[in-house]
Amino acid sequence: MSDQFTTLTYHLHEGQAIITLNRPAVMNALNSQMRAELTEAVQQAGRSARVLVLTGAGRAFCSGQDLVDAGDLAALDLARVLRDEYVPMLNAIYDCPIPTIAAVNGAAAGAGANLALAADVVIATESARFTQAFTRIGLMPDAGGTWWLPRQAGFARAMGAMLFAEPIPARQAADWGMIWEALPDAGFEAGWRARAAQLAAGPTLAYAEIKAALRASYDNDLPAQLALEAAGQGRCGRSADFPEGVRAFLEKRVARFTGA
């Protein structure tokens, strides 16, 4: 299945929603229309797919804000743009009920880097670079970067990346814990497609509970987190996926999870 958007493509096949940012002439820079379409596409995937993959067309993942599209910079209300356009887009990704993968096929800079970090799992090609480029144009990082990056890479690395605005190679990003893995360029697409297929065939309720539990752990004390785990595990245990998983384990076969 393929739904036509102007700034991106959306394909749904075998439970996998593949969203491709599709403005390669400007390295998939984010303009107002792309932000609106991406918000809509992610919400659509959350209703109809079992896994979501976000990637880019051409040689870049996303170069960040389209500064040409922004128009008169003196009249630009950045706070309004972030509140009205970026926040809904980022919340759609963060709140998506299914696992989300950012397949970073090339440069990810500025808001484009932080768009990738919004996903549950980031898989990058080894030639990809992540750059908190904001200070190069006199701005502070936004698009959630000040929240995601210190949690994923640590405070000192987040601070240095944002102050110096130096590109972080994908392999280094993986070593830092900023992303899940960096794959050789030659096998990149096959690699992320295999990961997406694995998640699409997995226990979607358990995945949703994992996402909720890990995010709550930043604010919970241990008793609250243990109570949350008990409640979530109870829901998983009442699903059809639990007995199916046990039967598959005992019968030494691949489980056929339905998410029910």
pLDDT tens profile 150-166: 999 999 999 999 999 99
> Which ranges in the chain are annotated with CATH 3.90.226.10?
2-200
What percentage of the chain exceeds 90 in pLDDT?
A: 93
The more confidently predicted of residues 185 and 67 is 185
pLDDT band for position 4 (cuts 50, 70, 90): confident
Compute the residue count for the chain.
260
Q: Which architecture characterizes domain 204-251 according to CATH?
A: Orthogonal Bundle (1.10)
What is the per-residue pLDDT across 44-86, written as a single tens digit (0 to 9) for each? Answer: 999 999 999 999 999 999 999 998 876 666 677 899 999 999 9
DSSP notation for 80-94: HHIIIIIHHHHHHHH
pLDDT digits (tens, 9 = 90+) for 98-157: 999 999 999 999 999 999 999 999 999 999 999 999 999 999 999 999 999 999 999 999
Superfamily for the 2-200 domain: 2-enoyl-CoA Hydratase; Chain A, domain 1 (3.90.226.10)
Residue 173's nearest CA partner among 238, 116, 111 is 116
- Alpha carbon distance 183, 174 (integer Å): 10
Q: Nearest 5°: CA angle at 95, between 94 and 98?
A: 95
**Range(s) of the chain covered by CATH 1.10.12:** 204-251
43 forms bridges with which residues in the sheet? none
Contact 30, 62 (CB under 8 A): yes
- Tokens, residue 124: 């990058």
pLDDT in the model for residue 1: 45
